[in-house]
Amino acid sequence: MADIARRALGGLFLAAPALAQPARPIVIIVPFPPGGSTDVTARLLAERMAPLLGQPVLTENRPGAQTIIGAEYVARSAPDALTLLMSSGTTLTINPLIGRNLPYRVEDFAPVAHVATLPFAIAVRNGLPSGMAEFVAHIRANPGRINWGHNGRGSFNHIAGALIEERLGLRWQDVPYRGDAPQLNDVLAGTLDAMLVGGASAIAGERTGRARIVAWTGERRLPNRPTEPCFEEAWPGTVAVTWFGLLAPARSPAAQIERLNAAAAAALVDPLLQDRLLAEGILSAGGSVGEFSNFLQRERDRWAPLLRRLDIQLG
């Protein structure tokens, strides 16, 4: 095991005697429907954290309203770090910048662990160009006629698509959906031209032979998919990567948060977990509680100017 894993486990076991083992299991709330990238990440992480913590770690899906339903549930939970949120960039980066009447605040959560990062993939139906440059040229030749799906106005993949549209000077028609699955169904049926989604859904579509991945929105190519380009290679300034992380209700015990952070860190350096995530287009992260907190602020600072220009509002 790598040095970082040994240090994380050591910290975990040192912290454990100071904490009475809670009777209840830990529950990770996933504010998205089952089957998407956030859900996959939460379930894989829960499997590996449970034996490290010596208590059950469960997942529960509470989707809806651009993750607001699940986030509000955790924000109002007891401050004991037994109910956690598997947050994404939508929840704590985008929503606080565009939501006028959010039922939660950034301050309602305590950062626990930076779990992963997720570049989006653009996958297209059969019959459209599947090369990145050719697809962009096709959109330019058909302004306003190519439609693409996202997870609703103000979702992170909607913002990512708007960034690409602005940087490349494109005009295409966005179509909101409630999650990745219905987009995938319509792309496979040929009624939706393209979708901008997490890797799990794009890769699943490609496996059917009725969809192709055109490009990714990450900074560099995925190591397990080296033939698939990133928009950033041809058009700098188009990186649009969301994140996954564990959050606890504010005022949860610091010792319990550190214990959870150590367990997550140990799980995330497991090569088997890293490979499982990478197969879904997800890159494992890690780091301390403080590093995760600083990362969250940097993300809000980065996206605020674009969101002001787009003038997107929720509620």
Whether 94 shows a pLDDT value over 50: the answer reads yes
pTM reported for the whole predicted model: 0.87
Q: Using only C-alpha atoms, what is the Rg of the chain? A: 19
Instruction: Determine the Cα–Cα distance for residues 205 and 183; give it in Å rounded to an integer.
Output: 10
- The values of phi and psi at residue 61, to 5°, are -90, 125
Whether 82 shows a pLDDT value over 60: the answer reads yes
The three-class DSSP label of residue 192 is: coil
Instruction: Determine the Cα–Cα distance for residues 1 and 115; give it in Å rounded to an integer.
Output: 19
Where does the pLDDT of residue 204 fall: very low under 50, low under 70, confident under 90, or very high at 90 and above?
Answer: very high
Helices 254-268 and 3-15 pack at an angle, to 10 degrees, of: 150
Relative to beta strand 109-119, strand 241-249 is antiparallel
The model's pLDDT over 230-241, given as tens digits with 9 standing for 90+, comes to: 999 999 999 999
Domains of the chain: 3-118+242-310 (3.40.190.150), 121-234 (3.40.190.10)
The amino acid at 145: R
Percentage of the chain with pLDDT > 70? 92
Structure tokens at 269: 């350096």
Q: What share of the chain is helix, strand, coil (3-state, %, to 5)?
A: 45, 20, 35
Q: What is the pLDDT of residue 150?
A: 94
Instruction: Determine the Cα–Cα distance for residues 173 and 167; give it in Å rounded to an integer.
Output: 16
- The values of phi and psi at residue 302, to 5°, are -70, -40
Whether 1 shows a pLDDT value over 80: the answer reads no
The answer to whether 245 and 111 are in contact (CB under 8 A) is yes
Where does the pLDDT of residue 100 fall: very low under 50, low under 70, confident under 90, or very high at 90 and above?
Answer: confident
Rounded to the nearest integer, the mean pLDDT of the chain is 92
Instruction: Determine the Cα–Cα distance for residues 50 and 166; give it in Å rounded to an integer.
Output: 44
Relative to beta strand 173-176, strand 147-150 is parallel
**What are 245's strand-pairing partners?**
87, 114
The sheet that has 147-150: what strands, in order across it? Answer: 173-176, 147-150, 194-197, 121-125, 211-216
Spacing of C-alpha 142 from chain mean position: 31
Taking CA atoms, 151 is separated from 54, 111, 157, 218, 249, in Å, by 36, 25, 7, 18, 26
Kindly provide the b/e burial profile for residues 295-314, where b requires at least 16 CB atoms within 10 angstroms of the residue's own CB: bbeebbeebeebbeebebeb
Name the least confident of 5-19, 142-156, 228-242, 264-278: 5-19
